[in-house]
Amino acid sequence: MRSATPQAALPHRHVLTVPTGPGAVRVARETAERALAEWGIDERHPAVGPALLILGELVANTVRHAAALSPQTTVYYAAGPDCLVLAVHDRHPQRPDLTGGHATGPGGLATVLELTHALGGTAVVRGDADGPGKSVWITLPL
């Protein structure tokens, strides 16, 4: 998984790789909660609850749609004094459309985008430089 320079420069970073299957969402969320606490980001911060929900939706989408071609999912967590970055990576070639019809309706990407935009954040899909996979990157202000 590759990252852009701004995320790479953030002082707090953690990477988790889990099997793409049952339990992945729980492990990703628990890891995020521990990392945020270690980094001094208060669990009551207004961005934390939505960030955990966003993370859960992204990992669930990977489990639901990419497991057959991506036996592992990688989650990237990063934070600095003014932002939180989450990315979920899989090796499935299909890239979600964050602006079209797939981003509407209940749950899934619609929830991700609604929460991200409500917090003033951004959502971007980045393809792998070395293959068919992709990462969905969420940046939220703190």
**pLDDT band, very low/low/confident/very high, at 8 (cuts 50, 70, 90):** low
What are phi and psi for residue 134, nearest 5 degrees? -155, 165
Q: What is the pLDDT of residues 33-71, one digit of tens each?
A: 999 999 999 999 999 999 999 999 999 999 999 999 999
Pairing of strands 83-90, 72-79: antiparallel
Who contacts 127 (Cβ-Cβ below 8 Å, separation ≥6)? 95, 133, 134
Determine the Cα–Cα distance for residues 35 and 39; give it in Å rounded to an integer.
6
Determine the Cα–Cα distance for residues 128 and 34; give it in Å rounded to an integer.
28
